[in-house]
Amino acid sequence: MMPPLQIEILSRVRHPNLVTLIGACKDAQALVYEYMPNGSLDDRLACKDNSKPLNWQLRTRIISHVCSALIFLHSNKPHSIVHSDLKASNILLDGNNVAKLSGFGVCRMVTDEFRDTTTLYRHTHPKGSFVYIDPEYVMTGDLTPLSDVYSFGIVLLRLLTGRPGFGLLRDVQRAVEKGCLGAILDSSAGGWPAMQAEQLARVGLKCCEIRRKNRPDLQKEVWTVLEPMLKPASIMLCSLSFKSVSEDLGGVPPYFICPILQDVMREPLIAADGFTYEAEAIREWIDSGHHTSPMTNLELLHRDLLPNHALRSAIQEWLQTDAQ
């Protein structure tokens, strides 16, 4: 079990895309997390127990969920948190297929002065899953937030292709160079938009650069690519049959859920971070003095909130259909 200090810090960390640590049992040497009924991303990619494939819209959202959680962890105050064992089996899906990071047993806390490429920790025997592990971490034992960026890149490419991690970087790199990326995309996800798929592939490859100094900053470079993809993906989800979406997602379409309240929205508002929240929740967040996004921990450019009329109509129609 992790040291008491780490347990205390993680028990206080709250984010919509982090599994909530409920408690710890010293005698059993076990941690107790919230229950995630849809299992791991690894199982869903393998369609374990005949689960339905994740469509490309949901995969886009999952990528953004993971990125958002990592940005939040890395920018946490006063201690930045490095996950250090990010992999598909440590990304869990709740009843609405909202992705949440788990597996914090080997996470590391980092002080403000050591956030970027500076060595944070040195281990003689680095921990983590080989396919996802930062090559520089393997060679040197030096752990930084950029180690998580490498793992994120592998997760992204797995979501894009549906393939296991071994040989994945080589295959995607060749496909991008030859202009035949479509040939290795996971067909079970549906028709990925070609431009979006290539953008994601290039982001994933950049995250997996061997030298960590060449990897992108999640907040400044990766999020700026992902954020514009969120709204189109949600619109495409809304365009699907409400009945089929409900069946695919276990009841409630995930984009109907407020990231803060984790409940179906009645008055959805779009904030400056591009995410949609329940009016009461986001207003309370802003009025309480927060100047950052609840999802990314990044500075909100303004406090304006815009009604999401399309989503509100979709929710109302779904509620009426579900009630019948």
List residues bridging with 144 in a β-sheet: none
Give yes or no for a contact between 96 and 245, defined as CB atoms under 8 angstroms apart.
no
What is the secondary structure of 18-35 as a DSSP string? B--EEEEETTTTEEEE--
- Provide the pLDDT for residue 223: 93
pLDDT, average across residues 49-53: 91
Model confidence pLDDT, tens digit, residues 85-133: 999 999 999 887 889 998 865 566 665 544 444 444 444 445 557 899 9
The rounded distance, in Å, linking the Cα atoms of 25 and 30 is: 5
**Nearest by Cα to 34 from 17, 22, 16, 18:** 22
* Dist. CA 81–CA 109, nearest whole Å: 5
* Mean of the per-residue pLDDT values of the chain: 83
Q: Residues 200-250: pLDDT tens digits? A: 999 999 999 999 999 999 999 999 999 888 766 655 555 543 444 444 444
The catalytic site residues sit at: 85
Q: Please say if the pLDDT value at position 46 is more than 50.
A: yes
Give the 3-state secondary structure of residue 206.
helix
Q: What tokens were used for 162?
A: 């549906």
Cβ atoms of 21 and 38 within 8 Å: the answer is no
Higher-confidence residue of 1 and 133: namely 133
Per residue in 162-204, pLDDT (tens digit) is 999 889 999 999 999 999 999 999 999 999 999 999 999 999 9
Measure the CA–CA gap between 96 and 252, rounded to whole angstroms: 6
Q: How would you classify residue 53: left for phi > 0, otherwise alpha for psi between -120 and 50, otherwise beta?
A: beta
